[in-house]
């Protein structure tokens, strides 16, 4: 079984959104077309409480894109984005969302979750691994936003868990903060992720 895992194709990551990824919306037609070629289609949704600790606004004197040390490790501070139930957290209006499963992540105030598999402590599971295993899904193709954060963390975790992982680069776009894109590509390749 081969699943398409569509990461965070939400309004706030598209042009006009709070944490817009350049050309983020340009990948939607390709992702929609790809959906017909897989045994299962799974989507993730970044889903934060309004006072999430990854938001710079929660940290006195800090600005978006600065780094801080959290109890679970270093964390980039972001503009307020993907707040639960807001239009920014909704999927892009042209994205086909009739997939089999929607995984929400980043819903605990004290910890961010880039990966669809584990929160940023790399320990607390989202439950997606169990879902995939019990459905007999062994192969994953990842697409979506952003390539250097949530797609990257999800792909590396999936490969470490033993899934056969491909990232379709044409169906992704990156934030590219301080070399994060090059680092993400190198990290994915080192983990055995196929970049096509």
Please choose which of ligand VGL, Zn ion, none residue 146 contacts, taking the beta carbon within 5 to 8 angstroms, the exact cut-off set by kind: ligand VGL
62 is catalytic: no
**Minimum distance from CB of 136 to ligand VGL (Å)?**
27
Touching ligand VGL, residues 119-138 (CB under 6 A):
none
Q: How many angstroms separate the CA atoms of 41 and 155, rounded?
A: 16
Which DSSP category does 95 fall into? S
Please choose which of Zn ion, ligand VGL, none residue 150 contacts, taking the beta carbon within 5 to 8 angstroms, the exact cut-off set by kind: ligand VGL
The total of other beta-carbon atoms located within 10 Å of residue 140's CB is 27
Residue with Cβ nearer ligand VGL (1 or 102) = 102
- Exposure string over 76-101, b if 16+ CB within 10 A, otherwise e: bbbbbbbbeebebbebbeebbeebeb
Among 8, 25, 119, 168, binds ligand VGL (CB under 6 A): 8
Of 156, 168, 154, the residue nearest 114 (C-alpha): 154
Token pair, residue 90, equals 């909704």
Residue with Cβ nearer ligand VGL (137 or 174) = 174
Which residue, chain included where needed, has tokens 């889903």?
A: 47
Residue with Cβ nearer ligand VGL (46 or 157) = 46
Residue with Cβ nearer Zn ion (3 or 21) = 21
Among 31, 43, 46, 188, binds ligand VGL (CB under 6 A): 46
100 is catalytic: no
Which DSSP category does 13 fall into? G
Q: How many angstroms separate the CA atoms of 79 and 39, rounded?
A: 36
150 is catalytic: yes
Q: Is 46 in the site for Zn ion (CB under 5 A)?
A: yes
Q: Is 12 in the site for Zn ion (CB under 5 A)?
A: no
The set of catalytic residues is 8, 105, 150
């Amino acid at each position: 079984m081969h699943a398409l895992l569509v990461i965070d194709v939400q309004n706030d990551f598209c042009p006009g959104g709070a944490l817009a990824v350049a050309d983020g919306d340009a990948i939607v037609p390709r992702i929609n077309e790809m959906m017909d070629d897989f045994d299962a289609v799974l989507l993730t949704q970044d889903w934060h409480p309004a006072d999430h600790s990854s938001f710079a606004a929660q940290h006195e004197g800090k600005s978006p894109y600065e780094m801080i040390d959290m109890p679970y490790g270093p964390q980039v501070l972001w503009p307020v984005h993907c707040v639960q139930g807001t239009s920014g957290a909704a999927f892009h209006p042209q994205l086909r969302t009739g997939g089999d499963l929607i995984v929400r992540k980043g819903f605990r105030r004290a910890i961010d979750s880039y990966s669809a598999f584990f929160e940023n402590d790399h320990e607390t599971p989202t439950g997606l691994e169990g879902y995939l295993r019990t459905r007999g899904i062994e192969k994953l193709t990842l697409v979506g936003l952003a390539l250097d954060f949530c797609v990257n963390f999800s792909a590396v975790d999936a490969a470490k868990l033993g899934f056969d992982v491909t990232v379709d680069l044409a169906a992704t776009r990156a934030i590219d903060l301080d070399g994060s894109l090059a680092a993400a590509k190198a990290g994915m390749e080192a983990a055995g992720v196929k970049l096509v």
